[in-house]
Amino acid sequence: MLTTEKQNFLLFDMTTHPLTNNNIKQRLIKKVQEAVLDKWVNDPHRMDKRLLALIYVAHALRRPGECFCCPLDKQYDLATKRVRQLLDLDPEVECLKANTSEVPWAVVATFTQ
């Protein structure tokens, strides 16, 4: 999905990672939108772990407007509210709950700190 190339920025060269396939990017954005709107499960422990990770990664990329934008303002408000619920969770508390793997919540802790 990404390539690596060097670009010259006036005084120095910098490695960049331009997008090579916009279709994959659009599919990922659609997955994130579906996860927070159509397929929302109010309990993060019951959510598909890949979708949960994708939501946290989308937020960590500091591009929530692109990932969570929706045709309707109402949907955008709902999507951002649900993402905020996830971000407000304490990973240390969540990993202590019964039948929970610590690894996903350790990753969440690194993305949200």
71-95 pLDDT, tens digit per residue, is 667 888 888 899 899 989 999 999 8
**pLDDT 10s digits, 23-77:** 888 888 888 888 888 889 889 999 988 888 888 888 877 665 666 666 667 888 8
User: d(Cα 103, Cα 78) in Å, to the nearest integer?
Assistant: 28
Contact status, residue 62 vs residue 87, Cβ threshold 8 Å: no
Residue carrying the six token digits 């045709």: 71
60 vs 19: CA distance, rounded Å: 18
Domain ranges across the chain: 25-112
